[in-house]
A and B are shown apart, each in its own frame.
Chain A
């Protein structure tokens, strides 16, 4: 088996994911509430009501409690001199290898939620693909961005 990448992302990612999962669930609940109101108004059969409630509860349970944990456990990355390796996924595990010579540019970005928790996301672009490492500590992200762009410049090769 190929060794797993070693570096984990910030533990605060868990909180951020739970919150954003919560926000999504709220939206789903609003839709669900609307459906329930319709069900009461138009006398829809009971199983629709129950189904909607069950769906809302399961969605919130999965996206607030279950998935963030699984995702965080899986999320790893590793910066090596000549390549970056990423690993992510909830059930399906995906690992990606990006050689330094292929890196075109590196960005960091931060939404309001990430900023509140002092996190930021690093985006690595090649000529064909874009890869994201979410929710790193701001300083770590900055460091990573600088070192990737330094390593990418050293690695010289034809495109």
Chain B
């Protein structure tokens, strides 16, 4: 497979369409602001058509110029219409091949292969990847085979003569069921719907209460306005929810995770089949998220933070590996494929005295709102007092969810912002760690801990506020490479 090859001609069409998609906004502007005088219409028509033709010609030319081949353990791509460019990617540097199949590729049995390398976007190279827009499945699997064999040779060199496990077909880790898919789709981003439904429900009751007679002076308009606005909002939310429902159904249909050798392979998608390969050693952290609605049903989802991948592609850094599962079952599902992690550690919570601070933090925001609304919107504004209760409840949840663990050498941080997150991190994957302490925290002997891991080209991680000072220090010491050293200990003296 060393002779230069072209992509399937359909690639020319795909590229052209992609170009056109980018042109659509200037095009619309052009048409809208252009067609004023009658005499100009023809000029505009000719202009538009020639732009179309030009784009098509460029699409075809760039397809003609684009060749790829495998040579000397490198994937060699040559492209460019005016300026000829060559990109040689050594297979050792390839992090993963993402195979996907769009609507245009599907009828011809073609796939799109995205080659991701570890090159960092920050160092001047714009895109750390190469895309083969349309090639046959056989060729894709051939590239995959070459990649696997080269990677394996590399690994064997590293490990000496250690026996490699047989290249197995891979073990199924997880496959989404129809019920789970519907559950996933219906609970994704549904907070707003439920909230507005509740508001509408309350307002329904208000209609039965003849409050207009009770508060004679209260403007009818305001009342109708509120109902009308909340109705419109509810419809808006419902529409958004339906869209997200359909979107999720299409996106996550047939979701499956397979563990093959040293990789996790994730396949999903109904219209566009996508496949992600995540090398296990590129996994930086595992994150379990529970949004409030799913939490009510004891459900959660799991992500892995992966290094590498292109900066443009958000999805390749934070990859969903368990879209939805009973929280109790997550450990059971993930532990076979992520062996070093311990998913049910013993958590140490924030001390009870921290609750006061969590409560205050919520109230600092809500009290002014409540005061203002109660003052300015007399009768109805008092409803905002409910906000206080809600804020207190939320603070209690935040307090209850704050926790940490160092079980079996894995740092686990658990915290809640809107969604409850539990982040599992290995010491070697944590890029830096910080502790923070405000004067008030110092007085209460509490502190904040934050650990950062690499995720794509930037950072991600976890942060827990108001843990026991001693606990935070013990985590900090665990992370320090020199905490046990004599010099370190000798310095030890009180801060103040």
Q: A and B bound?
A: yes
| Contact present for B433 and A3 (CB under 8 Å) | no
Instruction: Give the shortest distance, in Å, between B429 (CB) and chain A (any CB).
Output: 8
Instruction: Give the shortest distance, in Å, between A73 (CB) and chain B (any CB).
Output: 12
Assuming the A-B contacts A6-B491, A127-B454, A158-B428, are A92 and B481 also in contact, with contact meaning beta carbons closer than 8 angstroms in the complex?
Answer: no
Assuming the A-B contacts A128-B454, A157-B428, are A97 and B433 also in contact, with contact meaning beta carbons closer than 8 angstroms in the complex?
Answer: yes
Q: What range describes how many residues of A lie at the interface?
A: 20 to 34
Give the most central of A80, A97, A98: most B CB within 10 Å: A97
| Contact present for B473 and A2 (CB under 8 Å) | yes
Per the bound structure, the CA–CA distance linking A94 and B476 in Å amounts to 12
Instruction: Give the shortest distance, in Å, between A8 (CB) and chain B (any CB).
Output: 15
Give the most central of B307, B435, B477: most A CB within 10 Å: B435
Per the bound structure, the CA–CA distance linking A100 and B432 in Å amounts to 10
Q: Which of B167-175, B289-297, B366-374, B457-465 contacts A (4 or more CB under 8 A)?
A: B457-465
Q: Which of B131-139, B144-152, B250-258, B436-444 contacts A (4 or more CB under 8 A)?
A: B436-444
| Contact present for A3 and B432 (CB under 8 Å) | no
Per the bound structure, the CA–CA distance linking A157 and B491 in Å amounts to 27
| Contact present for B432 and A96 (CB under 8 Å) | yes
Instruction: Give the shortest distance, in Å, between B389 (CB) and chain A (any CB).
Output: 30
| Contact present for A95 and B434 (CB under 8 Å) | yes
- Chain A contacts of B437 at CB under 8 A? 92-93
| Contact present for A129 and B495 (CB under 8 Å) | no
| Interface residue ranges of B471-496 to A (CB < 8 Å) | 473, 476-477, 479-483, 488, 491-495
Per the bound structure, the CA–CA distance linking A156 and B336 in Å amounts to 29
| Contact present for A128 and B481 (CB under 8 Å) | no
- Chain B contacts of A97 at CB under 8 A? 432-434, 476, 479-480
- Chain A contacts of B166 at CB under 8 A? none
Instruction: Give the shortest distance, in Å, between A2 (CB) and chain B (any CB).
Output: 5
Select from chain A the residue with minimum beta-carbon distance to B469: A1
Per the bound structure, the CA–CA distance linking A83 and B484 in Å amounts to 13
Say what secondary structure dominates the interface of chain A: loop
| Interface residue ranges of A69-93 to B (CB < 8 Å) | 80-83, 89, 91-93
| Contact present for B476 and A2 (CB under 8 Å) | yes
A4 at the interface (CB under 8 A from B): yes
- Chain B contacts of A92 at CB under 8 A? 436-439
Chain B residues within 8 Å of chain A by Cβ, number: 35
A126 at the interface (CB under 8 A from B): yes
Select from chain B the residue with minimum beta-carbon distance to A85: B480
Give the most central of A4, A80, A93: most B CB within 10 Å: A93
Per the bound structure, the CA–CA distance linking A158 and B493 in Å amounts to 34
| Contact present for A158 and B459 (CB under 8 Å) | no
| Interface residue ranges of A117-135 to B (CB < 8 Å) | 126-129, 131
- Chain B contacts of A158 at CB under 8 A? 281, 428
Assuming the A-B contacts A1-B473, A3-B492, A93-B437, are A128 and B458 also in contact, with contact meaning beta carbons closer than 8 angstroms in the complex?
Answer: yes
Assuming the A-B contacts A1-B495, A2-B476, A3-B491, are A126 and B431 also in contact, with contact meaning beta carbons closer than 8 angstroms in the complex?
Answer: yes
A22 at the interface (CB under 8 A from B): no
| Contact present for A129 and B438 (CB under 8 Å) | no
- Chain A contacts of B431 at CB under 8 A? 98, 102, 126-129
- Chain A contacts of B452 at CB under 8 A? 126, 128-129
| Contact present for A4 and B495 (CB under 8 Å) | yes
Give the most central of A6, A98, A127: most B CB within 10 Å: A127
Q: Name 30 A/B residue pairs within 8 A (Cβ), A-sorted.
A: A1-B494, A2-B476, A2-B477, A2-B492, A3-B491, A3-B492, A83-B480, A83-B482, A89-B436, A91-B439, A92-B438, A92-B439, A93-B436, A94-B434, A95-B434, A96-B432, A97-B479, A99-B432, A99-B479, A99-B481, A101-B428, A126-B431, A127-B307, A127-B431, A128-B432, A128-B453, A128-B461, A129-B452, A159-B307, A159-B454
Chain B contacts to A: CB under 8 angstroms:
281, 307, 428, 430-439, 452-455, 458-461, 473, 476-477, 479-483, 488, 491-495
